[in-house]
Amino acid sequence: MTKSELIARLAGRFPQLVAKDADLTVKVVLDAMSLALARGDRIEIRGFGSFALNYRPPRMGRNPKSGEKVLVPAKHVPHFKAGKELRERVDQPQS
């Protein structure tokens, strides 16, 4: 499912709204989630899962081409942990 398919499915669920509302909804939700993570905040969606940042400490890496040692700086990477309902629904045997 792509973003545009998600928008279409939401629009189909809310026939009283104009199509643009579903489009804007997806944009507002994803922007708010990105911004929360950028601020270092967690996201917690009951029944779906949570997003948080994982810290990667600085390390010595190697340039695979030249073999030269380079310092890879510390960074934060987004991490998702599926919630109970999502975990259980995804793991159901396929019929």
Partner 1 sequence: MTLTKAELADLLFEKVGLNKREAKDMVEAFFEEVRHALEAGDSVKLSGFGNFQLRDKPQRPGRNPKTGEEIPITARRVVTFHASQKLKATVESVRNEQST
Q: Where on the chain is the footprint of partner 1 (CB under 8 A)?
A: 1-3, 6, 9-10, 13-14, 17, 21, 24-26, 28-30, 32-49, 51, 53, 75-80, 82, 85-87, 89-92, 94
- Pairwise CA distance, residues 91 & 82, whole Å: 12
Kindly tell me which of 68 and 91 has the beta carbon lying closer to partner 1.
Answer: 91
Please identify, using beta-carbon distances, which residue of 39 and 66 lies nearer to partner 1.
39
Give the nearer residue to partner 1 in terms of CB position, either 36 or 70: 36
User: For residue 50, which of 85, 7, 9, 91 has the smallest C-alpha distance?
Assistant: 85
Task: Enter the tokens of residue 48.
Answer: 């779906």
Around Cβ 26, how many Cβ atoms within 10 Å? 16
